[in-house]
């Protein structure tokens, strides 16, 4: 007899707690091999194909394309040992999935059907391992989403009933739907779901937010005769003003920057620099027929040289141990604007790369970022960040440190300005440089020395460029 194994959304690393299903790669009834990708998901950081550690016949899929699932939620069940075309029960009700999960748990000791590769949360012995996630309230209704065999037909518009009128237990089994309703102030008791047996789906809540007036016409009419004119239903009150969920990439950025502000006593210093000679040197380098070098790459090369002189700024603070940890390698993060928002890819071992190599790596990572194909490892592990906000047409800023790093160099636009050069007033290419640093790792003298060295290299790059 085949064993039904349940494959859950694994921990994708770096504290990610949820992912959105972008595209299913298998259907119910398909035969999958061990480690075959079965679904493509989008996390707050990257698009990832998730491989299944079991081989067999897919008996159920959980979740629809576009739906968010928390880490640990079921993705698919696989009948291990079943032949292609063997009879399965893909139409089982959600309550039947509990039997499958129980069977999977009891048979998790089988090693012959599992992958030798290790997904976070899935050992080679299929044992359950602890996953890093936010603590979620445990409720009896927070069960797994219903299995989905194929794209469902368009759901009928949800019908709202008057608030306070009992319609029986709220038919919601998805924690994502509950959270969406809670975040937007929607009373689930006021909705009739369009799913099977009245199940309230995410589309029902979103429809109520888009068209609250139509959804609560009946409720408003009855409430108007019995209550005050200002007593609008909850769904109407919730959409007064646009509400944007703080989730995905925006949520990760918000959480990280908030933590930086809470934990790091930062300070900022800045200086204007004459970048005329730097721009002339770049023009000469690019005219030599070699691979093109970007301004960002030259600034990155200057940063790595400055960090070699001032290693205090390439460090992190270990609060638990009460220690400053100075790091041996420079893993240089840089800000890249994408359609999904601002991302910070990381160039590994930047201190050993030439300006040409840095320029090529910046281009490669930027292309991946804009295509949404960066791996989580490409976005983590940075030790120092270079932020070129001059591309937005601004001169200065006070950057927020990318926790748990200790410093960030900001670069404004390079524009012609009046400047005293050689004792005379001239028009020169001027840039403002700003350094935000963790005051725990160094004092102002060190930070000022670092920034002054960077500015000196920008103004007189000839000595540095000989070593590139």
**297 in Cβ contact with 459 (< 8 Å):** no
Which of 110, 131, 128 has its CA nearest to residue 34? 110
What's the CA gap between 255 and 246, in Å, rounded?
Answer: 10
User: Which ranges of 187-330 does DSSP label H, i.e. alpha helix?
Assistant: 202-210, 212-215, 217-226, 234-238, 248-263, 276-286, 295-309
* Cis peptide bond prior to 433, omega within 30° of 0: no
What's the CA gap between 386 and 361, in Å, rounded?
Answer: 14
What's the CA gap between 226 and 224, in Å, rounded?
Answer: 6
Place of tokens 């899935």: 122
Q: Return the ∠ at Cα 161 (arms to 155 and 165), rounded to 5°.
A: 140
Place of tokens 């968010």: 68
**Is 184 an active-site residue?**
no
Tokens at residue 117, please? 């590769």
Cα-Cα-Cα-Cα dihedral of 287, 289, 293, 295, to 10°?
10
What 3-state class would DSSP assign to 248? helix
What is the SS3 assignment for 121-158?
CECCCCCECCCCCCCCCCCCCCCCCCECCCCCCCCCCC
**5 in Cβ contact with 56 (< 8 Å):** yes
Catalytic residue among 126, 184, 331, 439: 439
Which residues have a catalytic role annotated? Answer: 439
């Amino acid at each position: 007899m085949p064993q039904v194994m349940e494959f859950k959304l694994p921990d994708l690393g770096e504290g990610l707690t949820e992912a959105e299903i972008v595209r299913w790669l298998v259907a119910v009834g398909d035969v999958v091999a061990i480690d075959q990708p079965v679904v493509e998901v989008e996390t707050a950081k990257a698009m990832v194909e998730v491989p299944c550690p079991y081989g067999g016949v897919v008996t159920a899929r959980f979740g629809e394309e576009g739906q968010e699932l928390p880490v640990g939620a079921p993705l698919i069940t696989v009948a291990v040992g079943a032949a292609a075309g063997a009879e399965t029960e893909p139409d089982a009700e959600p309550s039947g999935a509990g039997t499958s999960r129980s069977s999977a748990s009891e048979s998790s000791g089988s090693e012959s059907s599992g992958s030798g590769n290790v997904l976070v949360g899935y050992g080679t012995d299929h044992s359950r391992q602890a996953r890093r996630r936010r603590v979620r309230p445990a409720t009896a209704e927070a069960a797994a989403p219903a299995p989905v065999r194929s794209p469902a037909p368009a759901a009928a518009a949800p019908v709202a009933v008057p608030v306070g009128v009992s319609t029986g237990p709220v038919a919601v089994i998805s924690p994502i739907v509950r959270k969406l309703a809670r975040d937007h102030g929607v009373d689930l008791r006021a909705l009739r779901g369009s799913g099977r047996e009245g199940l309230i789906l995410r589309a029902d809540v979103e429809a109520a937010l888009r068209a609250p007036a139509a959804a609560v016409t009946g409720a408003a009419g009855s409430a108007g005769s019995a209550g005050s004119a200002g007593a609008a239903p909850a769904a109407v009150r919730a959409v007064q003003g646009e509400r944007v969920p703080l989730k995905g990439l925006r949520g990760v950025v918000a959480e990280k920057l908030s933590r930086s502000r809470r934990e790091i006593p930062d300070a900022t210093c800045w200086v204007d620099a004459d970048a005329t000679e730097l721009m002339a040197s770049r023009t000469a380098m690019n005219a030599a027929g070699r691979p093109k070098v970007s301004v960002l790459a030259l600034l990155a090369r200057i940063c790595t040289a400055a960090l070699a002189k001032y290693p205090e700024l390439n460090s992190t603070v270990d609060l638990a141990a009460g220690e400053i940890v100075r790091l041996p390698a420079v893993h240089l993060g840089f800000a890249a604007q994408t359609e999904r928002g601002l991302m910070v890819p990381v160039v590994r071992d930047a201190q050993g790369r030439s300006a040409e190599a840095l320029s090529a790596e910046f281009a490669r990572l930027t292309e991946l970022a804009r295509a949404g194909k960066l791996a989580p490892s490409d976005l983590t592990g940075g030790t120092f960040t270079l932020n070129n906000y001059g591309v937005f047409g601004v001169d200065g800023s006070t950057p927020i440190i990318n926790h748990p790093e200790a410093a960030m160099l900001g670069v404004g636009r390079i524009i012609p300005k009046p400047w005293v050069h050689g004792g005379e007033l001239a028009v020169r290419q001027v840039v403002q440089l700003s350094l935000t640093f963790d005051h725990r790792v160094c004092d102002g003298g060190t930070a000022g020395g670092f920034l002054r060295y960077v500015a000196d290299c920008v103004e007189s790059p000839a000595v540095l460029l000989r070593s590139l």
